[in-house]
Amino acid sequence: MPDLDLTDRRLLNALQGSVQLIERPFAAIAGEIGISEDDVLARTQALRAAGVLRHLSPIFDVFRLGYKSALVAAAVAPERLEEAAAVISGHPGVSHNYAREHRFNIWFVMAIPRQRDFDAEVAALAAAAGARRHIVLPAIKLFKIAVAYDMIGRTTDARPRRATPRAPRRELTADERAIIRVCQDDLPIVSRPWAEEARALGIDEASLLGALRAMHDEGILRRFAAVLRHNEAGFTSNGMACWRVPDDRIEAVGARLAADSRVSHCYWRPTFEDWPYPLFSMVHCESRDEVRAIVDELSRTVAVADFEILWSAREFKKERVRYFVGDEAADAPAVATPR
């Protein structure tokens, strides 16, 4: 882990919050933490170069963009783990791919345009990877997503963000798709980052910011924020606690797990004969003992004794899916037109 001073840690907390959709967002962060804009820019660039800052980019609602997404668990022969993981990571729709210590030893997230047959594409990928069994686990309900690491308090309780009900999906305009294609990558770390992206689109900065704010207000763009590499940030252990809960208690237990500040994610997903756990919750700490102690405490709190902790053994891939590229961009213009 790089040697971070208190200002670096305060900056990382601020970047994980939400980068404002204004002309000089880094100046606003500078005012928030009491340093100069130049210092914010230099430190952010250094944190990116050191690998602590994984992404500083938009977080979109996949559903609102017209994509289908799900978590997939696959069981592959342990001696073929590396080969199988490489096949899965090679799919452009796979954003996360982890080895976990379980019979289902590869867990990945895939997103593809809704017009394609999701189950068939997952089955083909699992077969190509040599999986002996796979299960598709879309979110039935999202209770919480709040992946923000408090770099001062050393918990995952920085700026928790609860899930809110989704608005109905609509077709995006060609201009919106063009903006997403350009703005989905890492934000330039310069005083006026949106001006660079506006030039790439052939529009002015104010028009781009107006379009981004409109997408944010509608929930298509959830937020612009930093995502950290948790190992480099010092959170070297994470456990996915999976809970076996009767149907009539899922809502109540899910809400209670989500209310705990130490839980970063909480989802309700389908069950199978060989996977009887409908509730998933993530806990990130500095050691396995800390994770286990928190999960044991949660077990007592929600009165659920039947659970498993799936430990993350290796990260094979973690990156953002790129939307509206390749064939998906065929119906969209190369640049957005001024409004």
**96 given a catalytic annotation:** yes
Predicted pLDDT of residue 158: 35
Predicted pLDDT of residue 338: 33
Classify 297 as helix, strand or coil.
helix
The CATH architecture to which 6-55+176-230 belongs is Orthogonal Bundle (1.10)
- Report the DSSP beta bridge partners of residue 20: none
**Cα 16 to Cα 55: distance, rounded to the nearest angstrom:** 10
Asked if 284 and 264 touch (Cβ cutoff 8 Å), the reply is: yes
Q: Residue 337: which pLDDT band, with cuts at 50, 70 and 90?
A: very low
Question: Which secondary-structure segment (H or E) carries 335?
Answer: none
Classify 156 as helix, strand or coil.
coil
Among 96, 58, 47, 95, residue whose Cα is nearest residue 233: 47
Among 20, 15, 65, 91, residue whose Cα is nearest residue 179: 65
> Minimum mean pLDDT among 98-107, 119-128, 232-241: which range?
232-241
Predicted pLDDT of residue 166: 60
Extended beta strands in the chain, E state: 53-60, 67-75, 94-100, 106-113, 133-137, 141-145, 221-228, 237-243, 263-268, 279-285, 307-318
Predicted pLDDT of residue 55: 87
Catalytic residue among 91, 96, 216, 284: 96
Q: Helices 25-33 and 37-49: crossing angle, nearest 10°?
A: 100
- What value does the mean pLDDT take over residues 36-55? 94
Give the tens place of pLDDT for each residue, 266-291. 999 999 999 999 999 999 888 899 99
